């Protein structure tokens, strides 16, 4: 995945997170980006999500194959 797309995904996570009550399904982010004209396989986003988890930038639980984000680290959206 290229750096531009990674940045778009992180930006979308941060923007969508502001609209939640502390619970964000990764599919919301994916659907939003696809709707905005991005074209990438879901598996690429899943890989980035798990990378963000391992770096403690987000936390969550896997739910029905998607990552339900339950917390965002302070360094993600800076």
Q: Is the pLDDT higher at 61 or at 7?
A: 7
- Considering the entire predicted model, what is its pTM? 0.90
Tell me: the pLDDT tens digits for 50-78?
999 999 999 988 876 788 999 999 899 98
Whether the per-residue pLDDT at 10 is higher than 90: the answer is yes
Q: What is the 3-state secondary structure (H, E, C) of the chain?
A: CCHHHHHHHHHHHHHHHHCCCCCEEHHHHHHHHHHCCCCCCHHHHHHHHHHHHHCCCEEEEEECCEEEEEEECCCCCC
Q: Output the CATH code of domain 3-72.
A: 1.10.10
| Extents of the domains making up the chain | 3-72
């Amino acid at each position: 995945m290229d750096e531009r797309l990674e940045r778009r995904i992180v930006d979308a996570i941060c923007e969508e997170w502001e609209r939640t009550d502390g619970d964000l399904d990764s599919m919301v982010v994916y659907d939003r980006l696809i709707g905005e004209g991005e074209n990438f396989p879901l598996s690429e986003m899943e890989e980035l999500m798990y990378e963000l988890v391992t770096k403690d930038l987000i936390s969550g639980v896997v739910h029905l194959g998607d990552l339900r984000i339950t917390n965002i680290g302070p360094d993600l959206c800076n």
